Amino acid sequence: MNIVCTNCFTTNRIPKDKDFNKGKCGKCLQSVYSPKPAELTSKTFYPFIERNELPVIVDFWASWCGPCQSMAPVFNKIAQSSPSILFAKVNTEQVQQISAEANIRSLPTIVFFKQGKEVDRISGGLNEMQMKQWIVQCLHKTTN
């Protein structure tokens, strides 16, 4: 399995019989997996969503966006309890090019990627139950 280190964004191959949650990066020697959402930039966005074999959920947000701020703790909490999914955040004020390429029109927008391909997206602030339901729906789409 390929997994991108959330610290240095180097792609690491983890043997299928090994637990990727405990894998160490061959470059920076840190854990390749982090339960905290990775902060993506224009340089790290595409490698992170395309090279990971695990699904990646990206929260596109902005500091001035009230619903973004109120949803952030929910996003972080779900990330902590979802070890088979990677979570990431894109600050649309700082990473405008990626936000434009991703066709982000309202905030917050959460996009579910599987090996670089968009599976689904949802816009607007979500509570914990709504976000979990949406993630389950996305996972079903990737297994069918």
Which amino acid does the sequence have at 23?
G
Q: Exposed, middle or buried: residue 72 (CB in 10 Å: 0-12, 13-18, 19+)?
A: middle
Backbone angles phi, psi at 143, to 5 degrees: -100, -10
68: annotated active-site residue: yes
Catalytic residue selected from 5, 25, 65, 138 = 65
8: annotated active-site residue: no
132/45 Cα distance (integer angstroms)? 23
- In this structure, are strands 11-13 and 2-4 parallel, antiparallel, or unpaired? antiparallel
- What's the DSSP call for residue 7? T
Catalytic residue ranges: 65, 68
